[in-house]
Structure 1
């Protein structure tokens, strides 16, 4: 932790809240596009626009240092896990409401804790597994495997959450050797390059009108802006301080899902969302105390 991180927690929280609002807006636009166009086209637009904006913003400031990484192979793998996360979530948007998708993605911190034990050798006190178990009970309330709520969207978003958990583990490992801007650049590069190869198979000439192109462009602006705010937040305050506030994205997603798509979670889904949030906050605070111990 650097000195500045200890002195500006309020600023860091405000940056984080802004980033989460932009993430929720980005997901809202992605869901709208995915209702009319193939997933591959939406994901391509999201990454290609993000990549161009990243180059414009960071290349003049950092020059060729932006491309320098000590672990290029791991950066590619990390980029692919983020791409898998995005693709799975956009696919889930075609089948599920915005708020439920967002809530299920929040199982990722529980998965990260499990993976950190296996791959990073982190020690976890036995009592810290209780909120993980409780959190997965919230997932069952939303997904309801034996009921009508369970569909391909649930499978897709849970696969995306698994990819996102691996992405976070790789981010932890790479943070020790590469700068944040380098990680941001390679994530955008890998996603854009991969989708440029895949998107011709799904492209329908003339399918995108002016409004669609503007929406696709906004994905890049929102994606780059939200990631920049996230980086600024982590510079201003430690991750353990910010983690509990990440669940504000679920509030934004619920509000936008209701206003834009007319979707409001039912009682079972709301209960599951609250359980996931409560369990996630406990995991976040236990992480803080574990690091202090």
Structure 2
């Protein structure tokens, strides 16, 4: 699944995760590496979604996610990862991630991969809006302008009201909304739960819910399809894990622009694997969305540099 926005910093015990070694070049290298894995996951998901229903592809992905997390969760040093101070928030976060995955894979079934990925990168815009509603953050005029530009970029990509518009374009937008909701909910548990708890809840919640849904869409997969599904889960999990590691070496404002390298990879994979050639408006819209996202990350950096209030021991992610 596409990583639409750098993940907020999840605080473990006892030290907050955002205290990192300042090695930006290593962090940038890792972010670029993560985009390769995430782009490969998107390409495999698109290929598999042409023959299997999106809920089934999502189920395979979460099954692999759970299997990867299982030995980590069961390790004696992990304690009890399913013990959360805010379990309801964790569950809602897991549901948001699941919805993001289902919607994105559904969109890939109908749309060119570059168009779907570019549209889904609108997530920072939704993060801004949801942060106002649920975190009571104040947003200045310049961030509102960046948000508006991001929305304009999406409109340029999907072009509603023209012959180029495909109704399935709504799915990457809904995917971005789900991802943004997950990010905002993660902020609400920052400093409350460990990172492994958040990962465990994401895996278990998503897998249990999609396991209830998937029988209604089930198509018996072939062995090549199963192997491809495993590849999706492994690539996606590795990609997101490398992102987490990258944030040990550099700030979000430094790494955010390089996450958009994923659009380069998906465009190349779309051309090589599916013969898809994005039109000029997709590139124009993507450029506007990227500019909006980079500026939003810059404003986040400036906001974090402000002195923290005594009542908030850690800066908001």
Fold conserved between structures, TM > 0.5? yes
Partner SS, residue 37 of structure 1? coil
Q: 5 Å matches for 1:24-43? A: 24-43=39-58
Moved more, 258-267 or 10-19: 10-19
Partner SS, residue 66 of structure 1? coil
Is the 1:4–1:237 Cα contact (8 Å) retained in structure 2?
no
Distance 2:39 2:233 in 1: 14
Q: 5 Å matches for 1:179-258? A: 179-205=194-220, 208-258=221-271
**Change beyond 3 A, Cα 1:199–1:2:** closer
Structure 2 residue aligned with 1:273: 286
Distance 2:44 2:64 in 1: 14
Distance 2:259 2:252 in 1: 10
Q: How far is 1:6 from its partner? A: 4.5
Is 1:175 the counterpart of 2:174? The answer is no
Distance 1:65 1:12 in 2: 30
Distance 2:18 2:154 in 1: 38
Structure 1 residue aligned with 2:26: 11
Structure 2 residue aligned with 1:145: 160
Distance 2:150 2:227 in 1: 38
Normalising by structure 1, what TM-score? 0.94
Larger proportion of helix? 1
Structure 1: stretches of 5+ with no match in the other structure? none
Paired residue total: 291
Q: 5 Å matches for 1:38-77? A: 38-60=53-75, 62-77=77-92
Is the 1:244–1:285 Cα contact (8 Å) retained in structure 2?
no
Moved more, 94-103 or 127-136: 127-136
Distance 2:17 2:269 in 1: 36
Of residues 254, 257, 276, the one that matches 1:263 is 276
Partner SS, residue 157 of structure 1? helix
Partner SS, residue 137 of structure 2? coil
Distance 1:266 1:3 in 2: 40
Q: How far is 1:58 from its partner? A: 4.2
Partner SS, residue 236 of structure 1? coil
Q: How far is 1:176 from its partner? A: 2.1
Is the 2:21–2:248 Cα contact (8 Å) retained in structure 1?
no
Distance 1:256 1:190 in 2: 31
Partner SS, residue 177 of structure 1? coil
Distance 1:62 1:240 in 2: 33
Q: 5 Å matches for 1:79-94? A: 79-94=94-109
Q: How far is 1:240 from its partner? A: 2.6
Is the 2:18–2:247 Cα contact (8 Å) retained in structure 1?
no
Of residues 126, 137, 151, the one that matches 2:141 is 126
Distance 1:123 1:202 in 2: 43
Q: How far is 1:242 from its partner? A: 1.7
Structure 2 residue aligned with 1:290: 303
